[in-house]
Amino acid sequence: MNINAVIFDFDGTLVDSEENYYLADKKLLLKYGIKFTQAMKKEFIGTGNYEMMKKIRLKYGIDKSAEELTQEKNDIYLKIALNNTKVYPKMLDFLKGVIELKYKVAVASGSSPNILKELLSSTGLAKYFEIVVSSEDAPKGKPAPDIFLEAAKRLKVDPSKCCAVEDSKYGVISAKSAGMLCISVPYLTTQPLDPNFEKSDLLFRKGMKEFDPEKALFWLKNYPISP
């Protein structure tokens, strides 16, 4: 089986944005009398904004729709993130290598379309991606496979010939449920890792600290590598 396309998650994979999202969640929920902590945030890393807000409003009895809460959060987040979002240098090297090797590429993210548009532009990543799939382009967010399947459809590549690059357990579940290969670079690296990371086809257990673009490119070019 040859790999023809690489589909990148955005937050925590291409860019270091999870802390910005935490600050936005914290500021938003404080308005509703909820003291949101880093420990509480861990449950939602890798899920889409809308999916998170659906759970939050039910859990805490907030009298706002998930759509309203998502919009509020997006407005807060953009103010924080526009000038404070950094691309992971090693992941950028990997992306450039993938493109040099003529693989098709796309972004498949749980973020909202306007956030992706703004941050892809402000980080300089927009020039690399013609196809960007957001949480609003598919019926269900991660861990459902819908976002990755939509990305494969737009790329015109069979899902079985796509490789996803992810940082969260929900992303891994989503990619594997879509029938794709998956490279995992966990954002949360507390050991032992969540068992879902073991479903990955290539796993960098210590996250971005351990991620090796050359190793990942070699694996892509030579998949399946003989034992």
pLDDT in tens, 17-28: 888 999 999 999
Of 131, 165, 124, nearest in space to 150 by CA? 131
What does the pLDDT read at residue 226?
44
Question: Cα–Cα distance between 109 and 182 in angstroms, integer?
Answer: 15
Of 115, 108, 117, nearest in space to 182 by CA? 108
When pLDDT is averaged across residues 67-79 and rounded to a whole number, the result is 94
pLDDT tens for 151-180 read 999 999 999 999 999 999 999 999 999 999
Q: Percent of the chain having pLDDT more than 90?
A: 86
Distance of CA 56 to the CA centre of its chain: 20
What does the pLDDT read at residue 168?
95
Q: Which part of the chain has CATH 1.10.150?
A: 18-81
> Is 135 in a helix, a strand, or coil?
helix
What does the pLDDT read at residue 224?
82
What does the pLDDT read at residue 1?
61
149 pLDDT band, cuts 50/70/90, is very high
What does the pLDDT read at residue 49?
86
Q: Which pTM value belongs to this model?
A: 0.88
What does the pLDDT read at residue 83?
85
Q: Which part of the chain has CATH 3.40.50.1000?
A: 5-16+86-222
pLDDT tens for 186-215 read 999 999 999 999 999 999 999 999 999 999
Amino acid at 154: R
Contact 91, 11 (CB under 8 A): no
What does the pLDDT read at residue 2?
86
pLDDT tens for 33-54 read 999 999 999 889 888 888 899 9
When pLDDT is averaged across residues 87-99 and rounded to a whole number, the result is 98
Q: Looking at the domain that runs over 18-81, which CATH code has it been given? A: 1.10.150
Question: Cα–Cα distance between 2 and 25 in angstroms, integer?
Answer: 40
What does the pLDDT read at residue 47?
82
Of 129, 114, 141, 136, nearest in space to 48 by CA? 141
Residues in the chain: 227
Tokens of 19: 């802390």
What does the pLDDT read at residue 125?
98
Q: What is the CATH class of 5-16+86-222?
A: alpha beta
Of 111, 53, 67, nearest in space to 85 by CA? 111
Average pLDDT of every residue of the chain:
94
Write phi, then psi, for 20 (nearest 5 degrees): -65, -40
